[in-house]
Amino acid sequence: MYFLIFIYVILVFYTFLVWKYKYWQTKKIPFVQPQLFFGSIKEVVQGKTHFGVLFRDYYHKFQSVPYFGYFKMREPAIIVKDPELVKNIIIKDFNSFANNDFQVDPQNDPIWAQNVFGQTGERWKKNRHAWTSGLTALKVKSMYDDINAKCDVMTEYLKKHTENNPNEPLEARVLASKLFTDIIVSSVFGMETNSFEDPNNAFINITKSFFISTFLDGIGTYIFMVAPWLGNFLGLRFVSKRVENQLMEVAKILVEKRKKLGLQKTNPFDNLLMNGYKKDSAATEFSTLDVAGLIFGFLFDGTETSAGVSGFMLYAIAANPEVQTKLRAEIDEAYKLNGGKLSHENVYDMQYLDMVFQETLRLYNPALIMQRLCTKPYTLPPVSTAAKPFQVPVGMTVIIPMYALHTDPKYFSEPEKFNPDRFTEEGKSNIQKGAYLAFGDGPRICVGTRLATSQLKISISNIIRNFEVRLAPQMVNNPIKIDPNVFLMRSVDNLWVTFHKRAL
C-alpha cells in the first residue's frame, strides 16, 4: 500500500511538472521543446550560456515565424522576432506590456526596490517622471565641466602610467568604472573622490560589487527571471546586506549635507528628491532609504552599464586601427575648431564618434534581452496563414531578443563585423524600426540615456585625443565570450588594452 501511495505521489508530481508542456502544441504555435525541470533553458540553469545567447540560437532556428513559444521551467512564455511586433509591444501597445518581468520584494531587497526598472503602476510613473525631469538635456549639459574635469584626472593618470609602466595593459571596463564613479560622485552627489589615487574609497567599493560574477550570482539572476516569487521566498537579493549598509552610511552623509546647504534645482540628485521623494519642504524629512536607493540607482546606471559599454568601445577601437585613425582625425578637428578645447556642443556634433558609439551598442549592448510582462489581454497576429491569432494572457512573459535582432544579417550585413559606417545618416534610415534598440524604446526607454551618452563620448574623446589604444597581446585573436552569470553584457575575459601617449 505504501508503495502504491509513493507511486501515486510521484505520478502526481510528474503530472504537475509536465501538464503545461502541451500548451504551445494546442495553440498550434512553433515552440522550443522543453526538458523536465528545466523547460527550454537548461543551458542557462547550468551556467553554460547567457539568456541572450540562448535566445539568439532559438531565434535563428525559427526563421519563418514572427514569434514562437518556449518554457521557462514549466511556464509557457513567448519570444517575439518581428521588428514591427516589437515596436507595437514597447511603444504603440505599451499599456498591455507596461511592466518589466523582473521584480523583487521591497521588504527583502529594499535598495533594489527603489530602482524604477522593477517598479510598476503609479509608483513607477511618479519615479519615472522624477528621473526624467532630473536628467533633462539642460541638466546633463550643466554637468559638462565636472565630467571634463574628471576626464582630465584620468588623462593625467594614464600619462603617468604610460611613462612609468610602458606597454603594461589596463582593464578597459575597470578604468571606465573608476572614471564614471568619480563623475557621478562629483556632478550628482556634490562630493569629491579620486578613484585613480584611492581605489578603495567608499563609492568605488560599492561599484566594485556590481562587477562580481560567480555561478551563484548567475543562479540568483536566473531564479528572478523565471520565478520571481521563488527568489523572494528564498530571500535572494540583488543588493547584498553589506552593500546596503554602505549605501545607508553614504546616504546619511548626503542627507546631512543637504540639510546644511539645501536642495539645488539644477542638480539631478536634488531634483529627484524634490520631484519624486519629497515628503515636505524640509530636507530632514527625506527617508535615508530613499536617498540610499537613489545613490544606488545613479551608481549602478552611471557606472555598471556605462563602464561596460565604454570597455567594449575601447576594445573595438583598439581592435580596429582604421576606425581609430578616422575617429582621431574627427576629434582633433573638433579640438582645433574650438581653440584646443572640447565643448559640449562639439561632442554632439561629431558624427563619426556617434557612429562608433552606436555600433558599439549594436554589438555590445548592456541588455541582451528585454523581458516584459503582459498586463492586459493582447492579440498577436497569426503565426502563419494556417493559424489563428494568439491571445497573449495576462501574466505571460514576452521576450524581445535584442541581441538576436542586433546580430541578424537580415537587418545588419556582416553582423559580427564592427562597422560604424552602417550608422551614417543614410544607413540609419535603412535600419528597420524595432530591429535596433540601443537604449530600448517607448515609455520605458532608459532614463539615463543622456548622461550615459555624454560621459561616454567625452571620455572616449579625451582618451583618443591623447593616446593610441592597442589590444594587449593576450587579446589578439581572442574573440569576446559573453559571461553567462551576469544579466548585463559582460566579457568572460578581461578587456586588456595598452595606452601609448601621443605627441600633440
* Residue 427 CB contacts under 8 Å (≥ 6 apart), including other chains: 421
* Residue 359 CB contacts under 8 Å (≥ 6 apart), including other chains: 316, 418, 419, 420, 422, 423
| pTM greater than 0.85 (yes/no) | yes
Residue 188's closest CA among 304, 303, 345? 303
Does residue 282 carry a pLDDT above 50?
A: no
Give pLDDT tens digits for 433-442.
Answer: 999 999 999 9
Neighbours of 176 (CB within 10 A): 27
Give pLDDT tens digits for 379-404.
Answer: 999 998 888 999 999 999 999 999 99
Assigned superfamily of 2-501: Cytochrome P450 (1.10.630.10)
Q: How confident is the model at residue 284 (pLDDT cuts 50, 70, 90)?
A: very low
Cell of 434: 524595432
Rounded Cα gap, residues 361 and 278, in angstroms = 35
Q: What residues does each domain of the chain span? A: 2-501
* Residue % of the chain over a pLDDT of 70: 88
Counted residue by residue, the chain has a size of 504
